[in-house]
Amino acid sequence: MNIVLLGYMGSGKSAVGRQLAMDMGREFVDLDRLIEEQIGRSISEIFDQKGAVYFRKKESEILREVLHSKNSAVIALGGGTPIYGDNLKWIKDEKTGLSVYLKIAIEPLVKRLWVERHNRPLIAGISSPEALEEFVRKHLFERAYAYQQAHIQLDVSALDIEQAALVIQNIVQKEQDNI
């Protein structure tokens, strides 16, 4: 079974996913990196040169391909992946994996994103921590419905990467024991 990590940008999907894959001896797939490799451009360049609609269509195609070609990988999604098209339906399909929403409180999320904002196209132009917090709150409100449909919701606000990976590993083990 694949383990599919979803959540807002900066929630730790890639870092936790990499650690989890290493701990469980699984392949790690970072959907954003895979998109960059297949298209030959960074996410920022894709958004700038081709636009959001093009990016979301490609993201959806590559997601579906990954979900159906892997069966024991840890897959870190982009923050907006579950929102577009039929992506949420494919993510929730128990035949392709177990979805885990990495939930994080606003305060640590905004602190993390403020430092990283220049590397993230959606927030690169935001000029103050207060404006970033307002943006994140609005965005999270819009995306909450999709994120909360994950099979498992894990609050990672107070967890480091290793702790979050261990909790997910324990949850996956319990799920597999119940099958």
- Domain spanning 3-162: which CATH class is it, in words? alpha beta
**Domain definitions of the chain by residue range:** 3-162
**Digit-coded pLDDT (tens) for 2-37:** 999 999 999 999 999 999 999 999 999 999 999 999
Residue with tokens 């979050």: 164
**Digit-coded pLDDT (tens) for 75-124:** 999 999 999 989 999 999 877 789 999 999 999 999 999 998 888 878 88
pTM of structure = 0.93
**Digit-coded pLDDT (tens) for 34-50:** 999 999 999 888 988 99
Residues 40, 41, 44: CA angle, nearest 5 degrees: 160
Contact indicator for 3, 172 with CB cutoff of 8 Å: yes
